[in-house]
């Protein structure tokens, strides 16, 4: 993987007990016991990663394991061997065959709920025309 400017890499030999805050992009492939947050960042949880805590970011690409809730402002991708045990809130979701998800899913939380389809109005009765003039 080539180095990309503003990309942070924490590889599989990293073990953290505590929270992580980042900007831009974070590739995490280690063990974390804590929360991850970023207002505008992209979190890539690698295949070897094990994360126990909540995630709040702009985008999450999950290839490893997360045991906690994920809330993203835009997109969440669960790749083939990904495991998510917790609730997920996202505007968009991509779920590959082979991914494991156990929890509650809320897609499009920022959008207004879909309105119910209005009922078809009942037909109005046509009134008989009124007779005008003197009787004959």
pLDDT digits (tens, 9 = 90+) for 4-15: 567 888 988 899
User: Which residue, 105, 63, 102, 65, is CA-closest to 83?
Assistant: 65
Q: CB of 82 within 8 A of CB of 68?
A: no
Give the residue carrying structure tokens 């009922």.
119
Round the average pLDDT of the chain to a whole number and report it.
85
What predicted TM-score, i.e. pTM, was given to this entire model? 0.75
Percent of the chain having pLDDT more than 70? Answer: 76
Q: CB of 58 within 8 A of CB of 39?
A: yes
Q: How far apart are CA 136 and CA 133, in angstroms?
A: 9
pLDDT, average across residues 58-75: 97
| 3-state secondary structure string across 21-81 | ECCCEEEECCEEECCEECCCCEEEECCCCEEECCEEEEEEEECCEEECCEEEEEEEEECCC
């Amino acid at each position: 993987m080539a180095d990309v400017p503003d990309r942070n890499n924490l590889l599989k030999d990293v073990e953290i007990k505590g929270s992580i805050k980042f900007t831009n992009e974070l590739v995490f492939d280690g063990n974390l016991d804590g929360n991850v947050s970023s207002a505008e960042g992209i979190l890539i949880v690698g295949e070897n990663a094990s994360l126990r805590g909540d995630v709040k970011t702009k985008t999450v690409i999950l290839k490893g394991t997360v045991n906690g809730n994920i809330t993203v402002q835009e997109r969440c991708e669960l790749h083939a061997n990904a495991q998510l045990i917790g609730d997920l809130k996202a505007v968009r979701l991509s779920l590959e065959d082979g991914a494991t998800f156990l929890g509650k899913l809320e897609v499009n939380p920022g959008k207004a709920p879909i309105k119910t389809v209005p009922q078809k109005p009942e037909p109005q009765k046509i009134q008989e025309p009124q007779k005008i003039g003197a009787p004959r």
